[in-house]
Amino acid sequence: MKKCMGCLIIVLIIFPSVTIYAFSREIVIIFSGEELGNLEPCGCYEGQLGGISKRYSFIDLFKKQKNPILPVSLGDITKGSTRQEEIKLEILCRAMGEMGYVLHNLGEKDIEINPQILSYLSQTNRVNFLSSNVEIVAPFPIKINKSVVTECIDFEHPVKIAFLGILSKTFLSSYIGDYVNISDPIKALKPLVKQLRDKANLIVLLSHASQEESIEIAKCFPEIGLIITGHNIDEPKDSITFANNTPIVSPGVGGKYIGIARYSINDKKVNKNLERKSVEVIPLDNAYQDSKEMIVLLKEYQQILLDEDLARKIPQAPLSDGLAYVGNFVCGMCHKAIYDHWYKTTHNTAYRTLVSSGHQFDPECIKCHTTGYGDVSGFLDHEKNQNLINVGCESCHGAGSMHVKSVNDTYGPTDESVCEVCHDSAHSPKFQFKEYWKKIEHPEEMLKTIPKNIEQ
């Protein structure tokens, strides 16, 4: 009897079942992934896509249509293993739980996170962790399902959808510890597909791999009816392809898009595959409102950053040759005309935008809205570093302590590359150096004599 019970427990772990009650003739699979830590658009420009608030509203629209929906995640919620990324993982898992996600397939970024965090989330979160070819052997028990089978009932004949998930071995890195074992995806999938092909109406594979590798997997397993894939695919709408009539589709990167696959049900066909109606990828733009539920969660995230004082705990890189930041006030004592001009630019209100949006304690935001953050003597505390708030002179020209002590013409040369550190494609896609430079170009000036108290 004990032996039988043990076998039953093993079966339930390998093939956990999720029951979906339905009263319609359509099933919708919604998929996202590779957020890489993007909980919400940064707000640096208008028309930004994505964010969990818009995603919640998108999914809620389908819930109101009374169709059974199966939201799933491809993997790579985070982009690193810092404490801030750990917090993001917890927040995003909670968000997916509130949205009704069935599962989250593990990506390489996910398993780089502290295994204790993964253990906690795998046992407490409502979202199943999935991977058919990853095994984590750690002191902390981590529950990872080889397969997740959902059953939609209240049709004339119950409909079962099986989800499998793999992680490509090509993404192995030094950050993944010895406690992680990744087997060959095709070898891992063979027995699982064989067991499920006659039991499920549809097999879906979440393939955390390149599109090319996913195409090869599709050729090996014609039984798989849908493959959700992608790694660093920026324009997912244009990347949908087919192999053996199996759609291979990506939700893109950064949580900007969301995928949707619709299947119709014919109750007269017993034990037949579902009929695919459409597969598409949709941008999460301003057509979808920010949900109140996710706004509350995002505020909680910012509060956690404040409570843990992460902004002040970042490593500070040393500066060369004894350099130090002096602040805009000191620069303005000699360069008054330039200082007065800078004071009227949006660089001078950069920190204020963080305060107004409630992101002034977020290390990722502070870096581009203050001077010298991340360097020794740079911005670290609003109260103590008033002279380094906003994007100041030294943000572009470098720490100025040596220039103050000994004025010379070699200090502070700058070019477009310095601007692009913050004005990158993610935060400033319309950046054009010549056009933007006109807004901050320094006026001509007559240099004042350097006050003696600065030289000292």
Q: For 184, what's the count of Cα atoms within 13 Å in the CB-facing half-sphere?
A: 6
Q: What is the pLDDT of residues 45-57, one digit of tens each?
A: 778 999 999 999 9
The residue among 315, 260, 241, 255 whose CA lies nearest residue 285 is 255
Length of the chain: 456
Query: Which residue would you say has higher pLDDT here, 49 or 9?
Result: 49
pLDDT at 429 over 90: no
Measured CA to CA, the distance from residue 131 to residue 105 in angstroms comes to 6
The helix, strand and coil proportions of the chain, stated in percent and rounded to the nearest 5, come to 35, 20, 45
Mean pLDDT of 247-272: 84
Mean pLDDT of 415-443: 89
- pLDDT for 320: 87
DSSP character string of 346-415? GGGGHHHHHHHHT-TT-HHHHTTTBSSTTBTTS---TTT-GGGBSS-HHHHH---HHHHHS--TTS----
- Residue 394 in tokens: 């030294």
pLDDT at 11 over 60: no
Q: What is the pLDDT of residues 274-283, one digit of tens each?
A: 899 999 999 9
Query: Domains in the chain, start-ordered, CATH in brackets?
Result: 14-302 (3.60.21.10), 318-455 (1.10.1130.10)
Average pLDDT, the chain: 88
Query: Which residue would you say has higher pLDDT here, 72 or 171?
Result: 72
Point out which residues pair with 167 in neighbouring strands.
Answer: 208
**pLDDT level of residue 97 (50, 70, 90 thresholds):** very high
User: C-alpha angle 135/141/142, rounded to 5°?
Assistant: 50
**Residue 322: its H or E element:** none
